[in-house]
A and B are shown apart, each in its own frame.
Chain A
Amino acid sequence: MEFLLQPLNVLTFSPVVGVLVLLFLGKRDGLSRWVALGTSLVTFGISLWVLGLFNANDPGLQLDFAYDWIQAASWNIKYAMAIDGLSILLVLLTTFLTPIAILSTWHAVEERVRDFMIFFLLLEVGMLGVFLAQDLFLFYIFWEFTLVPMYFLIGIWGGAQRMYAAIKFFLYTMAGSILMLLAILWLGINQGTFHLPELLALGNIPAQEQFWLFLAFAAAFAIKVPMWPLHSWLPDAHVQAPTAGSVILAGVLLKLGTYGFLRFNLQLFPQAAVELAPAMATLAVIGIVYGAIVSYSQKDVKKLVAYSSISHLGFVMLGLFALNAQGIEGAILQMVNHGISTGALFLIVGFIYERRHTRELSEFGGLWSIMPVYAVLTLIVSLSSMGLPGLNGFVGEFTILLGAWGAGQGGALGSIWFTVFAALGVILAAVYMLYMFQKMFLGPVTVKANEALKDLSWRELAIMIPLLVLIFWIGLYPKPFFALMHPAVEQLVTLFQTAAIP
């Protein structure tokens, strides 16, 4: 009983209750939608309760528990979960975006609604599990488990090329994951435990091994992020996925990768992280610039947004591998920002796609005069995505650039050029976002079919408003968000100070 009442267990598995209800409900579409929405809102409520229990001044793991799971055959596998400053924002992001994504499917998903909702709620279980697991074995299970529902969401409810995209998504991610599995096994065999806090307490992984283990873990996470040059699954998956799938894919699933770097690569292998920081930062900066340039050349709005993710997540990676408090805090905040802004952009693309069944930029133009509310919302979200001061994107990117600058001068990166090129990415982001906005909304109405388009409905506004509130909140007053993560990040950073001294 004590096991079931652990707050984090309640949080992780509350969507399962909704799944069970849906299973017994039969094929009633309307009711299925409400049950799923209700479940996800309850889960969001539980996550707020967890936030209430969370002590922001404590840098360590909180609400943690560890039960023996598999102890036979000299395994030492625990069922262990905990939450700390590194994960709490991402947990909240997950529970926040899920109801929004579900609400966006009201008219977009008409077929097999119940099955869709079941997969969606299972996906939420997997994502929460990844953020909360504190045992490598348990983490790996949740990590792989997220693949299955997403695979079906893309493959059943996706676009014309959905089956190809679904398989590509699955195989790409699995390719990295099983290398990580070998590394996890190596740790389990040689350190005698899979429990992360125990591994950190032992802290005696030799530098030579750290290098290879870092790379094996990085293989899994870099594909998920995705870092250039491992990104080619992303545009396919995004373009084919249904809108709600894209929102969760961009909003949360990609963060599983960056979170993995933060939680495992940085914590477990600090020496290798210091050693490899310039290499990782180089890839990150290439990703920033490459993603921005490719975005600019897209003709499909959804593809444009998909490639912009590669650019934004490059910033996150740069911040993480600055290996100082500013960089990492900026990176965590930027994970949240990207979830909100890019999630909102995918929703915006979804709204217009539902009306016009096309996403080609050339099909639009002059929409401002037809759909003014939609246009204003899009403008705000675009500005947030390109990092306009006063909106959320600026806070994250600016902190990251500050961190990277600091790391470039006598820190882990060793060169300020990373910051210079990354700053170039900020300019390029403005170019492609404004280009998109101009093509869609400004100028005369060129296509007749656009003239009768209806502006956003109340439901659609209800989806967007919470996102807008956060965009402004983080942009104007980010302090509470930094306060949640600051002690944990400070503690993490001390690892690199000791690791840097040979």
Chain B
Amino acid sequence: MDFFSSADLITALPLVFLTGWACILLLVAAFAGKRPGLLPALSLAGLLATAYLLVSQMGLEAEAFGGMFVTDGFSTFINLVLALGGVLSIALSYDYLQRMGIAKPEYYVLMLFSLSGMMLMASAADLIVVFLALELLSIPLYVLAAIGRPDARSEEAGLKYFLLGAFASGFLVYGIALVYGATGTTLLSGVVAAAAAGLEYPIYLVLGAGLILVGLGFKVAAVPFHMWTPDVYDGSPTSVTAFMAVGAKAAGFAALLRIFVAAFPSISEQITPVLFAMCAATLIIGNLLAISQSNVKRMLAYSSISHAGFILMAVVAYGNDAVRFDVVSSALFYLLGFTFASFGSWAVVMAMEKSLGRGLDFKDYAGLFRRSPGLAIAMLVFMLSFAGVPPTLGFAGKFYLFRAVLEGGYVWLAIVGVVASLISAYYYLRLVVVMFMQDGEPEVHHEPMLKITAGLTAVATVLLFIFSEPLFAWASQALLRIF
């Protein structure tokens, strides 16, 4: 009995390798004993190997496992971003976990498992696989959020994330069931074919798509499914927050884009208004709530909600065939810019964090420019990138996003986005004011990996903007397989 062929395995090789590597490391972790550097080093090696395999797959477009799994430009792009995120997460974690006294070897293994789930999300071409991937990425994240145990806030974050995440999964599964009821299949290609052939009860397809949107909306922290975000981001150890903020968002959007662009273009008329409302609400509410924060970690949490809103701006136009490719590639491009600025800013936050959950207020950043100009300037670059001010990658990302929105004909959404950008500039600048213009004696931990990460991501944010041609080219060729 042949369940799959070796060709299937080769198509899915990076993912298979990473999952296998994580399983091996799980065993290694049991015997790691008193060598704290062993697991991070091995995880890093595994991720670099995965990235190498991903690069070697560039340009490949293939299906595997009976059409349930797809490797295409889109999945390769997202997975490389995720691998980059994984590498940066590990770089950020090592010193930080030691300093906070919560270093545990299984931390890295959980991270790798979660990454496998994220990568599977980007390749999943079957709704059941999407569900599996979502669980594979979420369950290790629940544990990671609580890894600061016995810190009560970290435990609370883990529990909260778990409860709401489980709830969201329920919505997703119910949505999948409805889609199956309407079309008789969970394969994305099958859904398209069934919709083209005509459905007896199309309303179930719409409802199913709506519920799937709810489930994924939780993962990407879109309003009104964002309530968990600030508490979970705030309570989790910062290295986990950094990983979660980029990884879960990237994976959630990967699934959202693939499912909606590939499988649900036929019902875009019903779905687009919902997406529009969700997007506008996310942009406005995320930004307004961020203004009133006095804690940098919470401010960044709300700001990450608002960035989910920006990426959703691209998704709104998904039903328009003419701009479909711009929708996908502008979202990818934005995600890449967000990844750099996000990890960089979290690195600075970690350098400033005194002990778990302390030293995170705006006032703790006063005088940072005098004390540690490098970190302050790096943070300035990230804030400008978040706000979309040139010369940063964040600006190029917004430029591309707004193009997709305008091409799709949603001028009003673009204006909402513009207003949101302006509001966001206010609170990003507020941090800059504190760092550069107020006097204070901030406590800075000069850990090399944090400084290197902050420095490299800051330089990348500026240089990749100036030399953005190859990135634009890559993102625009990261095509999503259309059935």
Contacts and interface: CB of A to CB of B under 8 A. Distances in A.
Contacts of A430: none
B443 interface: no
Given A72-B469, A181-B402, A145 B390 contact: yes
B436 A152 contact: yes
Interface string A35-70: 000000000000000000000000000000000011
A162 B402 contact: no
Interface stretch (B310-318, B413-421, B451-459): B413-421
Contacts of A72: 469-470, 472-473, 476
Interface in A121-169: 137, 140-141, 144-145, 147-148, 151-152, 155-156, 162-163, 166-167
A186 interface: yes
Interface string B424-439: 0110011001001110
A152 B432 CA distance: 10
Interface string A276-312: 0000000000000000000000000000000000000
B127 interface: no
B392 to A, nearest CB: 10
A3 interface: no
Nearest to B384: A148
B27 interface: no
A207 interface: no
Contact of A75 (B388, B390, B425, B472): B472
B422 A73 contact: no
Chain B interface mostly? helix
A188 B406 CA distance: 11
Interface in B432-480: 433, 436-438, 468-470, 472-473, 475-476
B391 interface: yes
B162 interface: no
B94 interface: no
B436 A70 contact: no
Nearest to B437: A155
Contacts of A166: 433, 437
Given A70-B469, A145-B390, A167 B430 contact: yes
Nearest to A212: B411
B412 to A, nearest CB: 11
**Interface size bucket, A side?**
20 to 34
Contacts of B436: 152, 155-156
Chain A interface mostly? helix
Contacts of A171: 422, 425-426, 429
B338 interface: no
A184 to B, nearest CB: 9
Contacts, number: 83
B402 A182 contact: yes
Interface in B369-407: 384, 388-391, 395, 399-400, 402-403, 406-407
B421 A185 contact: no
A288 B411 CA distance: 35
Contacts of B183: none
Interface stretch (A85-93, A172-180, A385-393, A407-415): A172-180
Contacts of A137: 399
Contact of A185 (B388, B406, B426): B406
B418 A189 contact: no
Contacts of A179: 418
A186 B390 CA distance: 19
A281 B475 CA distance: 46
A119 to B, nearest CB: 10
Contacts of A188: 403
B317 to A, nearest CB: 13
A71 B469 contact: yes
A368 interface: no
A189 B407 contact: yes
Contacts of B425: 170-171, 174
Contacts of B475: 73
B390 A140 contact: yes
B329 interface: yes
A178 B418 contact: yes
B292 to A, nearest CB: 16
Contact of A147 (B326, B389, B437): B389
Contacts of A182: 402, 406, 411, 414-415, 418
A198 B329 CA distance: 27
B433 A73 contact: no
A69 B469 CA distance: 7
A52 to B, nearest CB: 30
A167 B429 contact: yes
Contacts of B468: 70
Contacts of A163: 433, 437-438
14 contacts: A72-B472, A73-B475, A151-B429, A155-B437, A166-B433, A166-B437, A167-B430, A174-B421, A175-B422, A178-B422, A181-B399, A182-B402, A182-B415, A189-B406
Interface of B: 326, 329, 384, 388-391, 395, 399-400, 402-403, 406-407, 411, 414-415, 418, 421-422, 425-426, 429-430, 433, 436-438, 468-470, 472-473, 475-476
Q: What 3 A-B pairs come out closest when comparing CB atoms?
A: A72-B473, A73-B476, A72-B472
Given A141-B391, A155-B436, 9 more contacts: A72-B469, A72-B472, A72-B473, A73-B473, A73-B476, A145-B390, A171-B426, A174-B422, A185-B403
